[in-house]
Amino acid sequence: MSEYRAVQVTGSRNFELVTREVEPPPAGHVRIRVEACGVCHSDVLAVEGLRADPAVPVVPGHEVVGVIDALGDGVSAWQVGDRVGVGYLGGHCGECGPCRRGDFVNCENQHQTGTTNDGGYAEVITAKSTGLVGIPEGLSAVDAAPLLCAGLTVYSALRQADSRPGALVAVQGIGGLGHLGLQYADKLGYRVAAIARGEEKRALALRLGADEYVDSAAGDPGQALRQLGGATAILATASSGASMTPLVPGLAPRGKMIVLGAATDPIEVATPDLIFGGRSITGSLTGTSIDNEDNLDFAVRRGIRPMTEVFPLAEAPRAYEHMMFGRARFRAVLDMTAG
């Protein structure tokens, strides 16, 4: 193959299907033939032009699964033919202050796949070797792609929760993140409460692993959590600060609300809700590439899988719109072998 197809974006939502030349990977990088790429809400950074220079074309997509077909100089830990993934954090530098302290997630020179570097809305991608994730056997490319970002996000947040087995953990929102959060929390041995608006998602929530269901439209969800004994952790996945605000009083003493859904409006908190009981609010941003391998291994062993809708590469703009308008149930994935 001397050429490959890619869907690039300039400005805001100006998609274009283009043909590019296949090039050898630079030192410290590998070239990957892409099998599948998830369509994630964070793709807005590229697609909506929320980056340094939106006039420069970029290929979105940071839930990338494929097979290595070329190695750059200095790459020794990976081989041609290895099945790998690339998430949002595309590879740390190993030299900045955070990296020298082992904080690779907060590397100051981190590649952001699909935003600062071309991503996976393409048949070929070049990726830094430090950002690669080994894909285990028994996991299809379409299933693995959303787990590289959405799955890792909830997995890392639950590790932060550090709750005892059987403790009440709440998952707010049953969407792209939440439907996975319910599965991970259940498989980690927690008593799981799902929080969503309306009764129509109750049956799905219980099927995904919830033990309790809280209809936030029917009453105060924080009070409902208190009646259940208080949550040691709440994964807040909805992209709405206003919907997170009433959850804080539902935390048990020393409980944490871990914010995963990026929202433009603030979370408003009464200071006594934090002071009395030592409650806290924190955020969580994915994890390292080795964390991601742990995440995928856990998902394979425990049967955790995303609910996906598949689109061919040429329909990337439609897949993005499908995701943005909340019509995807629950993750849209581009399959390079489809269409």
CATH number of the domain to which 121 belongs? 3.90.180.10
CATH number of the domain that 251 lies in?
A: 3.40.50.720
- On whether residue 61 sits in a domain, the answer given is yes
Q: Judge if 275 and 160 occupy the same domain.
A: yes
Q: Are 128 and 111 in contact (CB under 8 A)?
A: yes
User: pLDDT digit string (tens) for 145-166?
Assistant: 999 999 999 999 999 998 999 9
The closest of 127, 86, 114 to 9, measured between CA atoms, is 114
Q: Judge if 29 and 110 occupy the same domain.
A: yes
Q: Judge if 270 and 155 occupy the same domain.
A: yes
Q: Judge if 122 and 154 occupy the same domain.
A: no
- On whether residue 190 sits in a domain, the answer given is yes
The closest of 163, 301, 178 to 232, measured between CA atoms, is 163
Q: Are 31 and 75 in contact (CB under 8 A)?
A: no
Q: Is 170 helix (H, G, I), strand (E, B) or coil?
A: strand
Model pTM score: 0.96
Q: Judge if 57 and 129 occupy the same domain.
A: yes
Confidence of residue 26 (pLDDT cuts 50, 70, 90): very high
**Averaged pLDDT, 270-285:** 96
The closest of 4, 25, 115, 109 to 61, measured between CA atoms, is 115
Q: Judge if 43 and 16 occupy the same domain.
A: yes
Confidence of residue 100 (pLDDT cuts 50, 70, 90): very high
The CA distances from residue 98 to 12, 91, 104, in Å, are: 33, 13, 6
- On whether residue 295 sits in a domain, the answer given is no
Confidence of residue 329 (pLDDT cuts 50, 70, 90): confident
Is it the case that residue 327 has pLDDT exceeding 90? no
Structural domain for 184, as ranges: 150-283
- On whether residue 294 sits in a domain, the answer given is no
User: pLDDT digit string (tens) for 28-74?
Assistant: 999 999 999 999 999 999 999 999 999 999 999 999 999 999 999 99
Q: Are 306 and 152 in contact (CB under 8 A)?
A: no
- On whether residue 290 sits in a domain, the answer given is no
Q: Please give the pLDDT value at position 214.
A: 98
Chosen domain end from 268, 283, 298: 283
- On whether residue 298 sits in a domain, the answer given is no
**Averaged pLDDT, 84-102:** 96
**Averaged pLDDT, 277-293:** 95
Q: Judge if 164 and 263 occupy the same domain.
A: yes
The closest of 262, 259, 292 to 87, measured between CA atoms, is 292
Over the chain, what is the mean pLDDT?
Answer: 96
The Cα–Cα gap between 145 and 163 comes to 28
Number of domains in the chain: 2
Q: Judge if 66 and 112 occupy the same domain.
A: yes
- On whether residue 292 sits in a domain, the answer given is no
Q: Judge if 115 and 212 occupy the same domain.
A: no
Q: Please give the pLDDT value at position 338.
A: 86
Confidence of residue 1 (pLDDT cuts 50, 70, 90): confident
Q: Please give the pLDDT value at position 324.
A: 92
User: pLDDT digit string (tens) for 114-124?
Assistant: 999 999 999 99
Q: Judge if 203 and 269 occupy the same domain.
A: yes
Confidence of residue 212 (pLDDT cuts 50, 70, 90): very high
- Enumerate the β-bridge partners of residue 229: none
The Cα–Cα gap between 128 and 11 comes to 26
**Averaged pLDDT, 309-323:** 97
Q: Judge if 86 and 113 occupy the same domain.
A: yes
Q: Judge if 167 and 225 occupy the same domain.
A: yes
Is it the case that residue 288 has pLDDT exceeding 80? yes
User: pLDDT digit string (tens) for 162-191?
Assistant: 899 999 999 999 999 999 999 999 999 999
192: amino acid identity, one letter: V
Q: Please give the pLDDT value at position 163.
A: 92
Q: Are 256 and 280 in contact (CB under 8 A)?
A: yes
- On whether residue 145 sits in a domain, the answer given is no
